[in-house]
Structure 1
Amino acid sequence: MTISTEKRPQAKKALRATAFAPKQAAESSLMSLTDFRNVYGSTPAFRVRLIRQGVRAVEVKDMVRMMDTPQDRVFKFLRLSTATVNRKASRDEELSAEDSERVVGMSNLIGQVQTMVEQSGNPEGFDAAKWLAHWLEEPIPALGGECPASYMDTMEGQKLVSNLLATMQSGAYA
């Protein structure tokens, strides 16, 4: 059987797309959600692939353990169902892309804090995950007295929190 020249470019495009997709998925699965500095330092395109493939629920529970905060509290501010995360973790399944996006956002924020401390001085003994978990629940004047945790359930809210952290590092926030 021969392929007509009209359809050949389409066939090549389909083959390239199919061959490329597993490579992207394999790259994304090499990085752990708890490798905060690398999640923060990765490209937006890489994080999008990570989100689309879904974050393993087991890794979400690992991240929460590192934050040293009750999982119900973290899941509440990320708008995650505790029952769903626990069920998927027991089956070694991934979260939906929607839930994964908020979780990757949290990992990214922890990585941002870790990077800020490393750039600003001596990070020895500093635990970015624990610090962020505590700070998220403190009322912040720049947020009208609200806690940053109340912004963690949306990507826009997470961007706002990220910008606030960057402002703190620059010294512009008092």
Structure 2
Amino acid sequence: MKKILKYTIIGITSFFLVLLVFSNLLRWAKQGAFLKYDNGVTIEVYNSSKQVITDLNFYFSFSGYHVYQDLGTINQLKPGEKTSRYSHQIKDTGNDRSLYLQYPINKTEAEVESLAYLPSYKPSKVVVILEITGIDNKGKLLFKVRGYENVFGQYEFDLTSDRE
């Protein structure tokens, strides 16, 4: 009777250990390099261009212009400089929101770019790594983005060629 109890406890413990290892492996496979970031919103920005970049505003919105959650502004980023923004909370109401970047393209206009799409009603983790590589002849930023959001996983896109 004691052997049965002993083997039952060992079996149940082994099952939960295997389950824990398996779930951590699945999480690592989905998040990859983004596993090291905490839940919430992390935005890392690197200026690899030769220009000073100013007034980068990050926010969540449903339409691009109505700010749902302000994530902060980077006032100035010199060439070769890197900075980051972190918010531990993502407001949890509404589907189909995006994380936007708004910046000035001249003294009277602003450009809005979507950096991450969140189809989830209650997202828990968003990571955006933005590398600004230059400015085109109209004043729009040229950049590369890679990131992670907890529904579709990792993503990457490149807007480094001249725009139309």
Fold shared per TM-score above 0.5: no
In terms of fraction of residues, the more strand-rich structure is 2
Greater share of residues in helix: 1
TM-score by length of 1: 0.30
TM-score (normalised: structure 2): 0.31
